[in-house]
A and B are shown apart, each in its own frame.
Chain A
Amino acid sequence: MPILRKTEIFEEFVMEKKIIYLKAEQSSYVNHEKIHIGDIASVFCEDKEIEKKIKNIVLYEFDEKNEKEGRVFLSILLLIEKISEQIPYGEVRNTGETDMVIYYKAEELKSKKWVQVIKILFICATCFFGAGITVMGYNNDVDMVKVFGQLYKVFLGTKPDDPTFVELFYSVGLALGIFLFFNHVPGKKVTNEPTPIQVQMRLYEQDVNRTFLLGASRKGEELDVSGNNDSANNK
């Protein structure tokens, strides 16, 4: 039965071909000078041997003596090339990003604890005074005191010169609004949801990565399969 045999052969061929799933991250941070595929992407393959082998493929090596800090841009094609060199019968399916940026920082360059604390204190002071004086400016700008006087007059008659309970309620409302919006109060940990500024932080990070990658591929700095580097050189 020739037809059956054909499908048998075909099935064997399919069995041989290992499907390797990759999920590359847009950005990753490393402390060691050798970048392995396992550092920047998650890998899945039914054959655990192959998976381990792929994770240990070296993509790029930073020169630790000369640069303590650096970044490199990679194209997914480079990963595919390296993988197919090692596993010629594999089929790579990427489910993640196609361009990646890797930030490298030597272990010794990590800033010390007290430097971090000083930085944090500095920004805390900036936020505290900056936001505080801004709200003072706002209150003056819109003449809050006059507004409260008018409100007082409408409901209760002429307002005394001193601040009354109206200002107090305004302040309480302000405080509650802030904590509600930020989703946490001092001393209490953040609950399930990220705060608005944390959301902004992630968005900003993505923008930075995208800008880096766009610039790199325009200038041809992205590490790609050999011969492809200057394909995107038309600025």
Chain B
Amino acid sequence: MCLGIMTVPIINKVILGWVAFGAGFAVAGGFIAFISLIGIVTRLAGLTKTADAIPTYENSMALGLIFFNLVSLYQPDLQWISYTAALSIINIVGLFTGIFAGCLAGALAEVVNIIPIFSRRIKLRKGFPYMVKAAAVGKCIGCLIQFYVF
């Protein structure tokens, strides 16, 4: 079955293209549904009182998804950028990604109601701010250990 590409009928290419297209569609739907349901953008917009700008946030999210999807699949060569510029870009990207991932982790924990259920079981009514701070510090330490010790 070692056919050259030229001898394969065009219909196969069409089917393959359609399958890939559908895969992209499904992934997009899942991603957006998950992100809107988890409520990161909602919370950030609520905190900064910028609910009017939500369409802008959605646009930037869409562009980010598309751009970085292309980067991850095609892996373009961007080494012509000067070292300092590249370093600062990487660091800024890392910072914002960290913020986003932190929000994601917090939102996930909230969606499954870990803290309310747990505190109800052990009959604890106070100290929620400390729990949240402890979780944040714990996550930070965990990240540092994973990245710098292992």
Contacts and interface: CB of A to CB of B under 8 A. Distances in A.
Given A119-B48, A130-B101, A178-B32, A140 B72 contact: yes
Contacts, number: 241
B27 A123 contact: no
26 contacts: A111-B49, A123-B44, A123-B45, A125-B92, A129-B68, A129-B92, A130-B100, A131-B100, A132-B71, A135-B68, A148-B20, A155-B8, A157-B1, A157-B2, A166-B17, A167-B73, A172-B24, A173-B28, A174-B27, A175-B28, A178-B66, A195-B58, A197-B41, A198-B55, A201-B54, A204-B42
Contacts of A129: 64, 68, 92-93, 96-97, 100
B19 to A, nearest CB: 6
B23 to A, nearest CB: 6
A168 to B, nearest CB: 8
Interface string A165-187: 11111111111111111101110
Interface string A96-124: 00000000000000010000100110111
A86 interface: no
A201 B96 contact: no
B62 A186 contact: yes
A184 B50 CA distance: 19
- The winner among B12, B13, B41 for most chain A CB atoms within 10 A is B41
Given A132-B68, A177-B27, A204 B73 contact: no
Interface residues of A, number: 66
Nearest to A128: B64
A174 B46 contact: no
Interface size class of B (residues with CB under 8 A): 35 or more
Given A140-B72, A177-B26, A200-B36, A127 B61 contact: yes
Interface string B123-137: 000000000000000
A4 B65 CA distance: 79
A138 B62 contact: no
A152 interface: yes
A226 to B, nearest CB: 29
A116 B47 CA distance: 12
A207 B72 CA distance: 38
B60 A139 contact: no
A179 B61 CA distance: 11
A114 B92 CA distance: 21
Interface in A144-173: 144-145, 147-148, 151-152, 155-158, 163, 165-173
Interface of B is mostly: helix
Interface of A: 111, 116, 119-120, 122-136, 138-140, 144-145, 147-148, 151-152, 155-158, 163, 165-182, 184-186, 189-190, 195-201, 204-205, 208
Contacts of B17: 165-166, 169
B85 interface: no
Contact of A177 (B29, B64, B73): B29
Given A123-B45, A165-B17, A138 B12 contact: no
A145 to B, nearest CB: 7
Nearest to B55: A190
Given A126-B103, A147-B23, A157-B8, 20 more contacts: A119-B50, A120-B50, A123-B53, A124-B56, A124-B60, A127-B60, A130-B96, A135-B64, A135-B68, A136-B68, A139-B69, A148-B20, A157-B4, A176-B24, A177-B25, A177-B27, A178-B31, A182-B32, A182-B58, A200-B37
B138 interface: no
